[in-house]
Amino acid sequence: MSDYILKVEAINKSFRQHQVVKNISFEVRRGEILGLLGPNGAGKTTVIRMIMGIFQPDSGRIHFDREYIIDKKKVGYLPEERGTYDETRVLETIVYFARLKGLTKAEAVERAMLWLERMGLKDYARNKIEELSKGMQQKIQFIISVIHKPTLLVLDEVFSGLDPVNQNLFKDLIRELAAEGITILLSSHQMNLVEELCDRIFMINKGERVLYGKLDEIKDKAGIRIVNLKTRKKISNISLAEDNRISNLQINGRSVSFHVLGDYSPDSIINMLPEGIVIDELSIMRPPLHDIFVATVNRGVQ
Amino acid sequence: MSDIFRVAQWEFVKGIKNKGFLFLTFVFPIIMVIIVAIISFAAIRGSGGQDLNLAIVDETSFMTGMLEDSFAQYEYEADFISASALDEIEKVLQEEEYDCILHIPEDVLETNQVYYYFKELSSLETDFIRNILSDILINQRLVERGYSPLEIRELTANVRVISRHIKEVEGGGFSFGILMPYFLALLMILAVFFSGSILLQSIIKEKTNRIVEIILSSIPAKALMFGKIIAYALLSIVQILIWVLAGSLVILYFEPKTLESLYSTKTFLMLLYVFFAFLLVASLNAILGSSAKDAQSGSQATGLLVLIPVIPIYFATSIIQEPNGTISKVLSYIPFFTPTTMMLRLGVSAPSGKEILLTIVILLVFSYLLILLSAKLFRIGMLMYGKNVNLRELIKWARSKDY
């Protein structure tokens, strides 16, 4: 058994003269949640469509569990641009898609009912899809992508358009599925959610790889610490040692925050402060993924 | 294979429940029944013969007996009345409830003239009578010129042999042979037009709302296309069968004898050709659907596609006159024209089993290849949305390896 479920090797794709994917390689390891990140138009969906076999890369290879051709019955896919039939009924629609994945009718009906119950949509099984709210429809689409217990689940912008309650529901479901051993490739713009869910991330910009690796390592590599502190008394100005490494200094009453370049321990931060300042609170954090994302994209723009 | 079956099943059920389909399938026969009823009613009123009360004044010595024999042959009745009636024709027509009076003068053999009096224009039905009288008079003249009864029978018999000959070849009534293919072609145009546009809409809809991505991530594009096209061809066949059944009920009511000739191997073969016509038009619709931007730009062209298999109707006269002639044979082997041509030929002749088999094999192979092509174009075209595609790009897609 290989240690990856999906291995993308140096794939390229052009539409007309425009190259949208440039020499992309990464792998999704068995049982992990890999975050696929990138700004709009970076080529994420194109990469996903190539993985799903909807179209072929111009060059490069995609291996699926050591096979060269993806086994469509073993993957689940929630596309970014979602549509469902509107005039068909909820249960029969789920069953149809489950049957296309190879389930028998009895299996499909049984699992569909379990999922509908789980999503709180049991009473809507006989309703037409058009009668459901958008959030409910998204739940139906989610069910369709996971009902056949795929080996690999590809979720493209799974959280977009969800309210906070449903975001949490989907987050819990994704964790559960991962715990059951389903490997997940997740693309999203909600960095806080990616941070909560993903083991590793792969980030592309303008069709090229810009970040790839474990979330922790990427944060370490960013080389920035964000310092937040609260002083006992209000201050209006502060002079810090080594101020060539300091940026984004903000003072607001008792709150002071700044970014510091390099790896700093709490002690060394305190040493940077002028004498006589009494500190009530101090936190030193690695930057959130959001900041790394924005910084990386902006660097690309320059 | 099971993918195709599942798609076909789903699309078929979805199509059956489509409101437009239901409306057309069940409202159309009602309209058809009304039209057929009106035509039949008019035909019965107009055909005259049996409905007319005919009186005959025969002043010759020889006509009455022969007329009675001839009428008996056609189950036609007439009263022979005395010559005095001619003096007050109007009164006789009124009082005796005759619709018309036929006056055969004594010198009819020389003058070749008879007189026909009638009350209303609708009673003016003289062809039948003229034919019978002509036969009798020709017969009489030949007798007078010394031909033996045997010679006369032979001569007149020859004329009848030709008319029976045509009947035998058709295997049914003359009108059935000619009308059935036209009738089926008409139904085919209607059905293919409607189910074709439902298919087109379904493809464009899946394309615009991106369901197609989920489907294509589950099954190959080929399976999707085969499933869809087969479903809609079957849907059309179901529709035609409903119509034929409704038509049969009407025929059963008016003319039960014709019905036997309706249910024959030929009709089955014609339906088979209709099925292939659907496969071909449906594939073209699928190609159109793959390249059209939205429902509107698609439906404009679908009307033209329907006409392609109907083109042989323009050659109908040649095909009917020479069902085994060069034009007929050439058209039979051009896949898009095969169904209609073969239907017309089946209507008026009996093409050899070899030809039927060959044309069906050609249709099978051609439909298969066309559906494959539509699947390929579909697969690429599906993902290019928001723009119409021109022919050059279609050809480029067809050649591309991205499949």
Q: Of the ranges A18-22, A93-97, B252-256, which one carries the lowest mean pLDDT score?
A: B252-256
User: Which among A49, A53, A88 is the nearest to B14, CB-wise?
Assistant: A88
Mean pLDDT computed over B339-343:
86
Q: Is residue A67 part of a domain?
A: yes
Return the residue of B nearest to A154 by Cα. Answer: B217
Same domain, A69 and A171: yes
Q: Which domains occur in chain B, in start order?
A: 2-41+173-399 (no CATH), 52-170 (3.40.190.10)
Domain around A235: 223-301
- The residue out of A200, A219, A238 marking a domain boundary is A219
Q: Give the domain CATH number at A28.
A: 3.40.50.300
When pLDDT is cut at 50, 70 and 90, the band that residue A33 belongs to is very high
In SS3 terms, chain B reads as CHHHHHHHHHHHHHHHCCHHHHHHHHHHHHHHHHHHHHHHHHHHHHHCHHHCCEEEEECCCCHHHHHHHHHHHCCCCEEECCHHHHHHHHHHHHHCCCCEEEEECCCHHHHCCCEEEECCHHHCCCHHHHHHHHHHHHHHHHHHCCCCHHHHHHHHHHHHHHHHHHHHHHCCCHHHHHHHHHHHHHHHHHHHHHHHHHHHHHHHHHHHCCHHHHHHCCCCHHHHHHHHHHHHHHHHHHHHHHHHHHHHHHHHHHCHHHHHHHCCHHHHHHHHHHHHHHHHHHHHHHHHHHHCCCHHHHHHHHHHHHHHHHHHHHHHHHHHHCCCCHHHHHHHCCCCCHHHHHHHHHHHCCCCHHHHHHHHHHHHHHHHHHHHHHHHHHHHHHHCCCCCCCHHHHHHHHHCCCC
Q: How many CB atoms lie within 10 A of CB B87?
A: 8
Residues A297 and A187 in one domain: no
Whether A200 and A281 share a structural domain: no
Q: Which of A219, A238, A272 is the last residue of a domain?
A: A219
- One domain, residues A166 and A296: no
Q: Answer yes or no: is A103 within a domain.
A: no
**Tens of pLDDT along B49-70?**
456 677 788 888 777 887 787 7
Span A43-71, pLDDT tens digits = 888 898 888 877 778 888 888 876 666 77
Average pLDDT over residues A36-47: 86
Note whether B375 contacts A: Cβ–Cβ < 8 A.
Answer: no
Nearest to A83 among B3, B211, B401 (CB): B211
CB contact under 8 A, A81 and B210: yes
Contact A104/B at CB under 8 A: no
A160 touches chain B (CB under 8 A): no
**CA distance to partner chain A, nearest, from residue B281 (Å):** 25
Let me know whether A178 and A289 are in one domain. no
Chain B 309-348, CB below 8 Å of chain A: which residues? none
Residue from the list B218, B380, B403 with its beta carbon closest to the beta carbon of A97: B218
When pLDDT is averaged across residues B214-221 and rounded to a whole number, the result is: 86
Top pLDDT among B75 and A12 is at: A12
Q: How many CB atoms lie within 10 A of CB A70?
A: 19
Which residues of chain B does A85 touch, with a Cβ-Cβ cutoff of 8 Å? 14, 211
Q: What is the pLDDT of residue B172?
A: 42
Q: For position B258, what pLDDT does the model report? A: 64
Best interface-test mutation with A: which of B1, B7, B217 has the largest number of A CBs within 10 A? B217
Interatomic CA distance for residues A261 and A276, integer angstroms: 24
A37 and A184 assigned to the same domain: yes
pLDDT for the residue numbered A63: 85
Question: Domain with A234 in it: what CATH number?
Answer: 3.30.70
User: What is the pLDDT at residue A139?
Assistant: 92
Q: How confident is the model at residue B162 (pLDDT cuts 50, 70, 90)?
A: very low
The answer to whether B310 and B278 are in contact (CB under 8 A) is no
Average pLDDT over residues B341-362: 86
Q: Is residue A210 located within the same domain as residue A240? A: no
Nearest residue to A87 via CA among B286, B295, B234, B17 = B17
- Closest Cβ opposite residue A52 in set B3, B209, B217: B217
Structure token digits, residue B51 = 């409905």
Using CB atoms and an 8 Å cut-off, which of residues 212-251 of chain A contact chain B? none
* A227 plus A81 within the same structural domain: no
Task: Tell me if chain A has a CB within 8 Å of the CB of B400.
Answer: no
**Claim to verify: residue A241 and residue A296 sit in the same structural domain:** yes
* pLDDT score, position B123: 56
Contact A54/B217, CB-based, under 8 Å?
Answer: yes
| pLDDT for res B358 | 92
Choose the weakest-confidence range: B183-197, B214-228, B381-395.
B381-395
Predicted local confidence at residue A68, as pLDDT = 66
Is the CB of B3 inside 8 Å of chain A's CB atoms? yes
The whole-angstrom separation of Cα A239 and Cα A256 is 12
Q: pLDDT for B108-118, tens place per residue?
A: 878 878 888 87
A109 has pLDDT over 90: yes
Cα nearest neighbour of B209 on chain A: A83
Q: Is B52 exposed, middle or buried (0-12, 13-18, 19+ CB in 10 A)?
A: buried
List beta partners, residue A59: A12
Cα separation, A164 vs A158, whole angstroms: 13
Is residue A242 in a domain? Answer: yes
Other beta carbons within 10 angstroms of residue A230's beta carbon come to: 15
CB contact set of A35 (below 8 Å; sequence gap of 6+): A186, A187, A188, A194, A197, A198, A200, A201, A202, A215
In a domain, A93, yes or no: no
Is the residue at A62 inside a domain? yes
- What's the number of domains chain A is made of? 2
Residue B394's pLDDT is what?
64
CB nearest to B211's CB, from A52, A75, A85: A85
pLDDT (0 to 100) of residue B113: 80
Flag whether pLDDT at B194 surpasses 50. Answer: yes
Q: Say what the pLDDT of residue B188 is.
A: 75
Could you tell me the pLDDT band of residue B85, with boundaries at 50, 70 and 90?
Answer: low
Spatial CB neighbours of B306, under 8 Å, sequence gap ≥ 6: B189, B192, B193, B196, B281
Quote the CA–CA distance of A120 and B110 in Å, as a whole number: 101
One-letter amino acid at A142 equals F
In a 13 Å sphere around the CA of B78, the CA atoms on its Cβ side amount to 27
Provide the shortest C-alpha distance from residue B221 to chain A (in Å): 9
Residues B16 and B2: their CA atoms lie apart, in Å, by 21
Per-chain mean pLDDT for chain B:
76
Least confident of A87-96, B3-12, B215-224: B215-224
The domain boundary residue, chosen from A184, A219, A254: A219
* Interchain contact B252–A (C-beta under 8 A): no
Query: Per-residue pLDDT tens for A177-220?
Result: 999 989 999 998 888 888 889 989 998 888 888 888 888 888 88
A4-13, A133-142, B319-328: range with lowest mean pLDDT: B319-328
Q: Among candidates A135, A296, A145, which has minimal Cα distance to A206?
A: A296
For residues B21-44, average pLDDT: 75
Ranking A273-282, B98-107, B131-140, B301-310 by mean pLDDT, the lowest is B301-310
Instruction: Please check whether residue A106 lies inside any domain of the structure.
Output: no
Residues A261/A224, Cβ–Cβ less than 8 Å: yes
Position with higher pLDDT, B388 vs A169: A169
Overall average pLDDT of the B15-38 stretch: 79
Least reliable range by pLDDT among A219-233, B134-148, B159-173, B218-232: B159-173
From chain B residues 161-220, the ones with a CB under 8 A of any chain A CB are 206, 208-211, 213-220
Pick the more confident residue, A7 or B309: A7
**DSSP helix, strand, coil percent of chain A (3-state; round to 5):** 35, 30, 35
CA neighbours within 13 Å on the CB side: how many for B132?
Answer: 21
Task: Give the SS3 label for residue A169.
Answer: helix
pLDDT for B262: 65
pLDDT at B171 over 50: no
Q: A165 and A78 in one domain? A: yes
Mean of all residue pLDDT scores within chain A: 86
Longest dimension (CA), chain B: 95
